[in-house]
Structure 1
Amino acid sequence: MNTSTNLFDTLCALLERNDILTSAAEVQGMICGMLGGGMPLECLDWMEPLADFINQGESFSPEVQNAFKKLYDDTCQQLIESDFALSLCLPEDSAPINERGQALLTWVQGFMLGFGLHQADLTGCSDDVKEGLEDFAEIARMDEEMSEDEESEQALFEVMEYIRVTAMLCFNELGKSPEQQQGEPKTVH
């Protein structure tokens, strides 16, 4: 978890230096949502929707592009590993609970946005994916303050784990690895 913690702080500082009004959590959430919604792993134009939604359509500086590319590559690698290795890009465990909770909500909102860009038809989805997406919609609307106690910490941990597992479930069901892409017939539109 330590690497994602440092990554969160590093990316947030980079975004702030570049006057990009979002958080690292939302960026990774969007990436996971796009991949979980069926965007091929080797897709090369994934940065364009990020720029559209978080940078008013302006392209990112080379420094931001490189950081996003690394986040994308790391996230792809975590999603395709068989040991459920996805690590959410969130503040460290010692950060105030409401800061972590808000970052988690932002992550989910980013996921829903990214997912919607690549998956509009949920009829072929499993009940688990449909339920998970409904839960994500509910989670994204939460905004009440949490108290700094053990019960709230446990609840936040359980929601974080549920989100992590649900994101992987979406990817495992709808995402496309290079091997899956090769096995699909090419369609001409």
Structure 2
Amino acid sequence: MYQAINEILIRHNADQGAAEAHGIAVGMLCIEGKVDAANWLHELWADEQDLPDDDKAFMLELFERTRELLDPDASEFSFDLLLPDDDEPLSEQVDAFRCWCQGFLFGVGYIQTDAEWPGDTAEVMRDMIELTKIETEVEGEEDEDAFIEIHEYVRMAVLSVRDQFAGDKSGQMH
């Protein structure tokens, strides 16, 4: 899936790769689960109308699948970051992870423009900012173990942000 998304983005001159594009989608969806996928496509391409229908459908499928995986009723184990496969070089995985975090921050900022951060989300945002500076020249088992831990932290932090904003919205509705 990662490679297919990346190829579409490259073929159509997007400024982002697959990891960053997915991070943007996840950030947007964590803050507003009902956000329109067209907003995401517009961030990736100023004129997404030029996208061939099959590529557009594939991108929309990724967005909607991500929405489903982020649904609070979905298993927390089904959501994951869209990153290169484990058999790719670790430095490539870490670089994509860094881009994913940048995308996530952008997606959150796209929807959440005021300074009100419910619960622990301000701390998570600070952590994400630090992760955009992660060293990508990595190798060896120790770095791989550290990457696995950081990846899992971010995965769970994303779900926490989603829950904080979902709870925040439901609290406002009463």
* TM-score, normalised via structure 2 length: 0.86
What CA distance in whole angstroms lies between the structure 2 residues aligned with 1:66 and 1:59?
A: 11
Instruction: State the Cα distance separating 1:18 from its structure 2 match.
Output: 2.1
- Aligned pairs for 1:107-126 (under 5 A) are 107-126=100-119
Decide which of 58, 70, 76 is 1:67's aligned counterpart.
58
Question: How far has the Cα of 1:144 moved from its partner?
Answer: 4.5
**1:108 counterpart SS class:** helix
1:106 maps to which residue?
A: 99
Q: Cα RMSD (Å) of the superposition?
A: 2.3
- Cα deviation digits, residues 2-44 of structure 1 (max 9, x gap): xxxxx1011112222223232111111001101112x232x33
Select which of 126, 132, 156 maps to 1:134. 126
Helix, strand or coil: the match of 2:48?
Answer: coil
Identity of aligned residues (%): 25
Quote the residue 1:25 is aligned against: 19
In the TM superposition, structure 1's runs of 4+ consecutive aligned residues that sit over 4 Å from their partners are none
Q: For residue 18 of structure 1, what is the amino acid of its counterpart? A: H
**Are 2:30 and 1:36 equivalent residues in the alignment?**
yes
Q: CA deviation at 1:132?
A: 1.0
Aligned counterpart for 2:152 among listed residues 161, 164, 171: 161
CA apart distance, 1:73: 1.2
Aligned position for 2:69: 78
- Unpaired runs of 5+ in structure 1? 1-6
**1:51, CA displacement in angstroms?**
2.4
| Residue equivalent to 2:10 | 16
Aligned residues: 169
Distance, in Å, in 1 between the alignment partners of 2:28 and 2:75 is: 21
Displacement of 1:49: 4.6
Q: Highest relative contact order (Cα 8 Å, sep 6+), 1 or 2?
A: 1
CA contact (8 A) 2:68 2:74 kept: no
Contact 1:122 1:130 in 2 (8 A): no
Deviations 1:51-71 (A, max 9, x none): 24x32x122512332122111
Say if 2:98 and 2:132, in contact at 8 Å, map to a contact too: yes
